Amino acid sequence: MQVLSVHSWPQAIAHLDADAFFVSCEQASRPALRGKCVAVGKERGIVIALSYEAKAKGVKRGMFVSEAKRIYPGIIILDSNHETYGLFSVRMFEILKRFSPKIEEYSVDEAFIDLTGLRRLYACSYRELALKIQDTIEKELSISVSIGISITKVLAKIASKYKKPHGITAIPGNEIHLYLSNILIEDVWGIGPNTASLLKKFNINTALDFALKNENFVKKYLSKPYIQIYNELKGEPSIDFVEKISPKSISKAKSFYPPSNEESFIFSELLKNLKLSCAKARRFNLAASKLSIFLKTSDFQMLSVEAKLSSPSAMPLMLTESLREVFFKIYKPEYSYRQTAVVLSGLTEKIQYSLFDDRAKIEKIVSVYNAMDDINRRFGRNSVHLGASSDSYVHKERTPNLPLLNIKV
DNA sequence: TCTGGGGTCCTAGGACCC
DNA sequence: TCTGGGGTCCTAGGACCC
């Protein structure tokens, strides 16, 4: 047997993955749902999360809700509630920070935790430490998680998936090969369908096959991300640990049914996405210097454009003109569309004004938005919104001097 | 996996400069 | 007004992730 790394724990990286997270949050907040066949997913849409009971009945993620109901008529379908999931997520990360100050919030329901050197402090093995974390989350949040521990991030990912749900798997450096031989190449984090089919042509079918390939082969056929994965599989840390930084882009997308080619409708959908993404940017205290839009046609083609903004902004009223311009660059009435999306990027912390902008006007708009965000924070989301931005499509005038407030508290 | 929504990172190639 | 090579910045598009 080949040994890929001789040391058992040069460092200890844990990967935590919540089990059926969205559904678990629903079950945690409504105990009556526990032990039942539950799915999260919009009516007419697709299933995005399933309880293990529902999985056992043969319902799969990505299925149409109607299909899921046919397979198991007793299934309970819930509307997704991302605010709740976000709250559980925050509390889960807070628990993790009690164990180690160094954590990477990888997604709402996943985190990497650097446990290196903590055995002495907790007077236990890494496996036992993972067990304590798992217990704490279960007791405090009623959420079940699986944890994998190994010496690199890619291996920790493999470990957390090895036994699920409610698993604890530790892969020390000297046992890597025992695990990798059971992992199909397409199941490795970061290897997608394209790369998997390329590798299979060279007879690489498992993670172990890949790890045992020589470096020249890897450098000849693959690019940087895959070289990193290759190193990590061999037990050599190569992918940075990222402690949370602010987002690099903010987007909002929404599909609708049936598809439409009506200009004013498509534009109003874009405007909604613009408002939502701007609101999110303001929550992070960020301003966008680039605006892109995406239109998805009914046959799933993507049309997109990007525009540079004269000054960074997170205020819909200041971006509406740009939105209109980019929209007419790609909108073609002969297609029909099923989704629009807005992406804000080039995000900057401080809002800078170019010399050509009317500073006073900008500041007035900023203060109105600040007041609005404040009201929404105190009285709940969507208590207040700006009237002018929703129908500015109809009146093709420039940005109004003072936006109107529509208050519906 | 017949299609929801939100992200990240990398590469190739063009523009522009010296 | 001929022509080489190198650096940097930006953009579009691909691949992948949850």
Of A66, A84, A102, which residue is a domain's last?
A84
Q: A159-187 b/e with 16+ CB inside 10 Å = b?
A: bbbbebeebbbbbbbbebbebbeebebee
Q: How confident is the model at residue A42 (pLDDT cuts 50, 70, 90)?
A: confident
CATH number, domain with residue A69: 3.40.1170.60
Chain centre to alpha carbon of residue A211? 29
Of A84, A99, A118, which residue is a domain's last?
A84
Gyration radius (Cα) of chain A, Å: 25
Asked whether the beta carbons of A15 and A159 are under 8 A apart, the reply is yes
Reported as a single tens digit per residue, the pLDDT across A280-294 is 999 999 999 999 999
**CA of A356, C1' of C17: distance in angstroms:** 41
Q: Between A382 and A203, where is the model more confident?
A: A203
Evaluate if residue A374 carries a pLDDT over 80. no
Q: Check residue A398 and give its pLDDT.
A: 37
Q: Quote the Cα angle for A219-A222-A227, to 5°.
A: 65
Q: A115-129 b/e with 16+ CB inside 10 Å = b?
A: bbebeeeeeeebeeb
Q: Residue A62 and residue A137: Cα distance in Å, rounded?
A: 28
Give yes or no for CB of A306 within 7 Å of strand C.
Answer: yes
Reported as a single tens digit per residue, the pLDDT across A58-94 is 999 888 899 999 999 999 999 989 889 999 999 999 9
Reported as a single tens digit per residue, the pLDDT across A237-248 is 999 999 877 899
Q: Between A373 and A79, where is the model more confident?
A: A79
A261 domain-assigned: yes
Q: Quote the Cα angle for A164-A168-A173, to 5°.
A: 115
A41 domain-assigned: yes
Asked whether the beta carbons of A96 and A103 are under 8 A apart, the reply is yes
Q: Check residue A370 and give its pLDDT.
A: 77
How confident is the prediction for chain A on average, in pLDDT?
88
Q: Check residue A147 and give its pLDDT.
A: 98
Evaluate if residue A404 carries a pLDDT over 80. no
A343 domain-assigned: yes
CATH number, domain with residue A350: 3.30.1490.100
Q: A291-300 b/e with 16+ CB inside 10 Å = b?
A: bbbbbbbeee
Give yes or no for CB of A190 within 7 Å of strand C.
Answer: yes
Q: Check residue A394 and give its pLDDT.
A: 40
Q: Residue A60 and residue A348: Cα distance in Å, rounded?
A: 40
Tokens of residue A17, six digits? 């993955």
Q: What percent of chain A is modeled with pLDDT above 90? A: 77
3-state secondary structure of A52: helix
Evaluate if residue A409 carries a pLDDT over 50. no
Of A84, A105, A139, which residue is a domain's last?
A84
3-state secondary structure of A284: coil
Looking up tokens 């401080």, which residue turns up?
A350
Beta strands, E only, A71-215: 76-78, 103-107, 110-114, 145-150, 168-170
A242 domain-assigned: no
Nucleotide nearest to A255 (CA to C1'): B4
Q: Check residue A62 and give its pLDDT.
A: 86
Q: Check residue A362 and give its pLDDT.
A: 64
Asked whether the beta carbons of A287 and A348 are under 8 A apart, the reply is yes
A15 domain-assigned: no
Count of domains in chain A? Answer: 2
For nucleotide B8, give the residue with the nearest CA to its C1': A248
Q: Check residue A257 and give its pLDDT.
A: 86
Nearest to A14 by CA among A193, A201, A174, A241: A241
Q: How confident is the model at residue A383 (pLDDT cuts 50, 70, 90)?
A: low
Region A297-312: mean pLDDT is 91
Region A267-273: mean pLDDT is 96
Burial class (CB in 10 A: 0-12, 13-18, 19+), A277: buried
Q: Which of residues 258-297 of A touch strand C (CB under 7 A)?
A: 290
Q: Residue A367 and residue A357: Cα distance in Å, rounded?
A: 16
Q: Which nucleotides of strand B are protein-proximal, with an atom < 7 A from a CB?
A: 1-12
* Domain interval for residue A368: 249-407
**CA of A92, C1' of B5: distance in angstroms:** 22
Reported as a single tens digit per residue, the pLDDT across A23-36 is 999 999 999 999 99
Give yes or no for CB of A196 within 7 Å of strand C.
Answer: yes
Q: Judge if the upstream peptide bond of residue A258 is cis by omega within 30 degrees of 0.
A: yes
Tokens of residue A147, six digits? 């944890």
Give yes or no for CB of A221 within 7 Å of strand C.
Answer: no
Q: Between A41 and A115, where is the model more confident?
A: A115
Q: Check residue A24 and give its pLDDT.
A: 96
Region A100-122: mean pLDDT is 96
A402 domain-assigned: yes
The torsion angle over the Cα atoms of residues A341, A346, A350 and A355, rounded to 10 degrees, is -100
Q: How confident is the model at residue A336 (pLDDT cuts 50, 70, 90)?
A: very high
